Amino acid sequence: MTACRRTLLLGLAAGAAGLAARPAAAQAAPLLRKPIPSSGEMIPVIGLGSARRYEEAKTEADIVPLRETFARFHALGGTVIDTAPSYGDAEAIMGNIIAGLGIRRDLFLATKVGVDTPEQGRAQIAQAFQKLRTDRIDLIAVHNLRDITNQLAYLRELKQAGRIRYVGATTSFDRQYEAFEAMMRRETLDSIQIDYALDNRNSAERIIPLAAERGMAVFINLPFGRGSVFRATQGRPLPDWAAEIDVTTWAQFMLKYLVSHPAVTCAVPGMAQARYVDDNLKAAQGRMPDAAMRRRMEQFIDGL
């Protein structure tokens, strides 16, 4: 996906460089925010994901663009950071960057627990606090339904103790949807995280509507469909009517489709370069698709 994304943005390189040269305050505009239903807390609809991109940064040269990405994200008003212990060294790398920039208080920090026993869960969560260099994590979700009952019980203990603020669960696999839906019906959660993209709309059939019914925030993983949407649109111009929703790149097109869903709270695309932050956060600004425009966007992508 990264290679495709680079190709698609080549034509924007000069403009992005010009933006980076101007003070952040001169270009920052308010980001669209939506509420977490269980609390009413408002968060920006675009967050920063870390799968793959932050897993194996070993040298200072590797860290520099990641630090620039975080600094830019923070300067433009981004707050939601999503990671997981299964993403290699991502928790530790992100924790060090956040501490170095001194921005922890401004962030909504989310991670996951994905193990098979209560003992393993307690150990993994303790490591998350250490690696992220914080004594409070905003959201911890049970990853891919692993040991879901035991892990949720411990997360609720942590929430009661004030160590975490929200409890959730995640999946990104259709084969887990049936079990995930059953879990959502029996458990009280603050949030779910699910895969959803313009060319991967299965979760919108039952999972996302159920989250709305149950009062759960919806975070979106794989918003670019594991790169498939970029491959499908590579080399193609945006349709003229994309200007009606203030879209200038395919990334914005894809993200605005997701966050305009009434039940979607926040999409978390991976970002490891500051120019992707400039691009993606524009999807949280300007005019948003209505229901008719969303159908038009679906039809366009389905026709490629």
Domains and CATH numbers, the chain: 32-302 (3.20.20.100)
| Model confidence pLDDT, tens digit, residues 48-79 | 999 888 988 889 999 999 999 999 999 999 99
- Whole-model pTM over 0.85: yes
Comparing C-alpha atoms, which of 301, 295, 289, 288 is closest to residue 32?
Answer: 288
Q: In this predicted model, what pLDDT tens digit does every residue of 77-121 receive, in sequence order?
A: 999 999 999 999 999 999 999 999 999 999 999 999 999 999 999
pLDDT tens digits, residue range 184-226?
Answer: 999 999 999 999 999 999 999 999 999 999 999 999 999 999 8
Within its chain, how far is the Cα of 266 from the centroid? 6
Listing DSSP states for 99-155 in one string gives: HHHT-GGG-EEEEEE--SSHHHHHHHHHHHHHHHT-S-EEEEEEETTTTHHHHHHHH
